[in-house]
Amino acid sequence: MSQILQSGLLGLDFQELSQLAQEHGQPEYRARQLFEAIYPQRITELESISTLPRQFRSDLKQKGMEISHPRIEQKFQSTDGTIRYLIAMPDGESVETVWMPEGDGGEAGDGTDDDDADWR
């Protein structure tokens, strides 16, 4: 695979999936099948994409390609119910995100109260 450097199929856009199919000698509609399976259908295992030929799935698997999903690496809960997640991405990077049970605490994003926001 010349320009696609990652081994995870999740995260590739349609153009990258088209390039992948082309590099494996597959017709362009295979990219659409792959895209539909990964995103709208949310199939998690390459072997489960029954619309793709077994040989194409096998070739992708042999190249180390897989449908890799992020996973929660750590979870921290504060006393006010806020939960902070450290999410491990398939490429080795991590992302931190926060869930706040009561919304954003009444701030409009610039430190002012929602009542003071001009955009409402």
pLDDT tens figures, 1-40: 444 445 789 889 999 999 999 999 999 999 999 999 999 9
Q: How far apart are CA 58 and CA 56, in angstroms?
A: 5
| Mean pLDDT across 46-50 | 94
> What is the predicted pLDDT for the residue at 89?
84
Let me know whether 46 and 82 are in one domain: no
Let me know whether 58 and 18 are in one domain: yes
Let me know whether 77 and 39 are in one domain: no
Residue 7 lies in a domain: no
Let me know whether 57 and 84 are in one domain: no
Tokens in use for 48?
């489960």
Let me know whether 22 and 48 are in one domain: yes
Percentage, residues of the chain above pLDDT 70: 80
The predicted model scores a pTM of: 0.63
| DSSP code for 15 | H
Given a cut of 60, whether residue 110 has pLDDT beyond it is: no
**Residue 64, φ and ψ in degrees, nearest 5:** 85, 10
Residue 115 lies in a domain: no
Tokens in use for 50?
């029954």
Res. 118 pLDDT band, cuts 50 70 90: very low
Q: How far apart are CA 36 and CA 41, in angstroms?
A: 6
User: Which of the two residues, 103 and 89, has the higher pLDDT score?
Assistant: 89
Range of the domain at 88: 70-102
User: Which of the two residues, 85 and 108, has the higher pLDDT score?
Assistant: 85
Let me know whether 53 and 84 are in one domain: no
CATH number of the domain that 20 lies in? 1.10.150
Strand partners, 66: 8
> What is the predicted pLDDT for the residue at 112?
52
60: Cβ contacts below 8 Å, ≥ 6 apart = 9, 20, 24, 46
Indicate the number of domains in the chain: 2
